[in-house]
Each structure stands twice: as structure tokens, then as C-alpha cells.
Amino acid sequence: MLDADLDPIAARAALEWLIELGVDAAVGDDPVDAYALPDHLAVPKPAAAAAPQPVAEPQVDPVGVARAAAAAARTLDDLREAIAAFDHCELKKGARNTVFSDGNPKARVMIIGEAPGRDEDLQGKPFVGRAGQLLDRMFGAIGLARQSPAPEQAFYITNVLPWRPPGNRDPEPAEIAMLLPFLARHVALADPDFLVLMGNAACAAALGQRGILRLRGTWAEAFGRPALPMTHPAYLLRQPHAKREAWADLLSLRGRLG
């Protein structure tokens, strides 16, 4: 510390002596923050930290997911697994089983129904309840059985929806659209010669049309192959008089099969 009363010559000599000793910085009594900016240069602090913004969930397009999963399936077993792994349809949460198909996958005839009911949901197979028993008798009458090993005497069967709608309500258009890529792939992989569209939901999915009582009995084209709309066996159980027309439709199919 230099004495404040030193004359300039003595002060200079003292300073030179201190430099000689290796002193290279002047230190005062109070600590100095060499990094602190003068007030007029200080950067203002942000008023308050901004509240964290919620991170938006990425938007999922369920139809796109279904399309990609269906396209990736190379076999019917792949497709069964892809459907069982598909988590974007609410119906799956209320279902006991994913109902994929039954019958002979090599059959010339593939039947498309609506959706599993209670019995189908319990057993994991399509058309095993009362409507299914009637369906077996109807197709049996033209020589087709689901378990027949011969493709020309067999049928293969699936539904538009693989999960039971609550209380057996009708499938909603959005549900049909979401699961349609799986149905289209199912038909492509099974590659039947003829499709039978059982009821309105099957016609909505395969033809984009409703009005089964008008459509039934008239051959159309669906998924690139001949398709015959027919009244659903559950309807025939309620309206037995409609069995006559259903019989005519079965004979039309029999005629095509040769």
C-alpha cells in the first residue's frame, strides 16, 4: 500500500520498486468484480421465465397406418398379426378377440360379413352363432362347406370389422374406412374367384354403396373380382320370407362356379 502523503518523486520511486518486485496489478481494499458491466451496458434480465409450452402429440392418420401395415403383410398370417397389432380402432378395446377368418383360404368363394357378434367375439371365429349356422346350411345347399379341403367345394369367410361393436350396433362409416385397407389386402392375399357380400356393411366397404335389398342378386365388381351382394343371414332369420330370394342368389353363385 503506498502512503498517500508521498511527494510525486518518492511515489514514483516506490511504484518502480514495487514493479521491480513483480507486482503487476493494483488491488484496493474492496473487492472488484472485473466482469461486471457498468449499469448503462448491462443486459436487462428477462421479466419472467416463459411457462413451458405443452409438446403437441404427433398427429396419427389411422387409415395411413392401416394401409402401411396391410401393404407390408405378405401372407394371411402376417395380415392376421398386423390386424391384431393395430391399436387405432376403439372397438378393439371392448373386444375379447380379434376375429380374423375361418374356412379354407384356398376356396374359390370368399364371403364377407359385417362384424363379430357375441358368439364370434367369445370364440374368435366369424359366423359361429345362429346366423353363422344358417349361413353354413345355405352354402351347404349348393355344395360348399367352410372346412372342405377342396377349394372348389369350400368357402372362406371374414368380416368387414375384426372386432365386435358394442351391443352389436352397426359399424360406423369411419370404422369401415379405417379397416378397409386390411379387408382389401385380405381379399388380395386369399385371391378368391368370387366374393359374396353379406349385407349392407359389406356392400358399403366393398362397393361404397348401401341398400342391400336393391343391390342383392346383381353381380358387381369389388376388389377387382366378381362380387354378389346377398341379404345377411341375420336378416333372413328375422324375415324368413326373404329366403326365396336368397336361394335364387345362391343358385346364381352355383351357376358361376360351374
Instruction: Give 52 or 167: the residue with its C-beta nearer to ligand URA.
Output: 167
- CB of 227 vs ligand URA, minimal distance in Å: 16
End-to-end CA distance of the chain: 120
| Nearer to ligand URA among residue 42 and residue 199 (C-beta) | 199
Q: Which residues make Cβ contacts (< 8 Å) with residue 87, sequence separation at least 6?
A: none
Taking the complex as a whole, the smallest distance from the CB of residue 126 to ligand URA amounts, in Å, to 4
The residue number with the shortest CB distance to ligand URA is 113
- Residues ≥6 apart with Cβ < 8 Å to 141: 247, 250
123 vs 152, which CB is nearer to ligand URA?
Answer: 123
Least separation in angstroms between CB 234 and ligand URA: 6
Nearer to ligand URA, 104 or 159 (CB): 159
CB contact at 8 A, 235 and 199: yes
How many whole angstroms separate alpha carbon 102 and alpha carbon 104? 7
C-beta closer to ligand URA: residue 79 or 120: 120
| Amino acid sitting at position 227 | A
Characterize the bridge pairing of strands 225-230 and 194-198: parallel
Our CB check for ligand URA shows the closer of 105 and 132 to be 132
Q: Least Å distance between CB 161 and ligand URA?
A: 9
* Cell, residue 245: 330370394
The β-bridge partners of 113 are: 159
Beta carbon of residue 240, minimum distance to ligand URA (angstroms, whole number) = 17
Q: Taking the complex as a whole, how short is the minimal distance between the CB of residue 102 and ligand URA, in angstroms? A: 9
**Of 15 and 124, which CB lies nearer to ligand URA in the complex structure?**
124
CB of 198 to ligand URA, least distance (A): 6
Tally of CB atoms within 10 A around 30: 5
DSSP labels for 145-196?
BTT-SSGGGBEEEEES-SSPPGGGPPPPHHHHHHHHHHHHHHHHHH--SEEE
Angle between helices 76-84 and 62-72 (to 10 degrees): 150
Q: Which residues bind ligand URA (CB under 6 A)?
A: 113-117, 120, 126-127, 129, 131-132, 159, 234
